[in-house]
Structure 1
């Protein structure tokens, strides 16, 4: 299950240069959903999610890529600040802090004792 906070998606889209109007339209598309659970033919209460992307939504793939870019940027910033440290495959190679593929994220790090 994808648990994307809509505020995070909004902030990433704005920082990527999307206009306020476009971001607002996208957020309305993903946040106006509501669900009803039916048990034994009886309809339950209506509830509205406060985060997440719906399975099967045609926008999901693009929105997930935008969120992945936001996560990647945060990891790079944290690495640059020295809060986390990636690993090197050899002395002359760059440091690897994370790899993203589809909906998977692998984090590489070194334990820093203080």
Structure 2
């Protein structure tokens, strides 16, 4: 998940929040908040025109860590479903241990899998 904050699809955030049971009005407010971001690039000391990104979270945004946790929960849910459906097989640390498909840390993710 290198530079995961830059790669998060905003529609994914929206869908995960709705699946988690957040009220549509609340999700709409959050989406409006993260979609109002705009950037301008300085070229030779002159400011260029504004443009809006279509994905990613701003790291200085106080909501970004919470939104990233929501994305992590969405990833975990998708991994559990894939394992349950037999599309993914986790790795075991020992013979009688559970299958591990992923580990999530503060802003990192390690995926485990076994070749079938």
Give the alignment's TM-score, normalised by structure 2: 0.92
Runs (4 or more) in structure 1 with deviation over 2 Å come to none
| Counterparts of 2:114 and 2:38, CA distance in 1 | 43
Which residue of the other structure, out of 9, 15, 18, is the alignment partner of 1:14?
Answer: 18
Q: Which residue of 2 aligns with 1:95?
A: 99
Note the aligned Cα RMSD (angstroms). Answer: 0.9
| Counterparts of 1:42 and 1:61, CA distance in 2 | 33
Runs of 5+ unmatched residues, structure 1: none
| Number of residues of Structure 1 aligned to a counterpart in Structure 2 | 112
Residue 41 of structure 1: CA displacement? 2.0
Give the alignment's TM-score, normalised by structure 1: 0.94
| Counterparts of 1:15 and 1:104, CA distance in 2 | 23
Residue 105 of structure 1: CA displacement? 0.8
Which secondary structure does the structure 1 equivalent of 2:110 belong to?
strand
Counterpart check, 1:32 vs 2:43: no
Runs of 5+ unmatched residues, structure 2: none
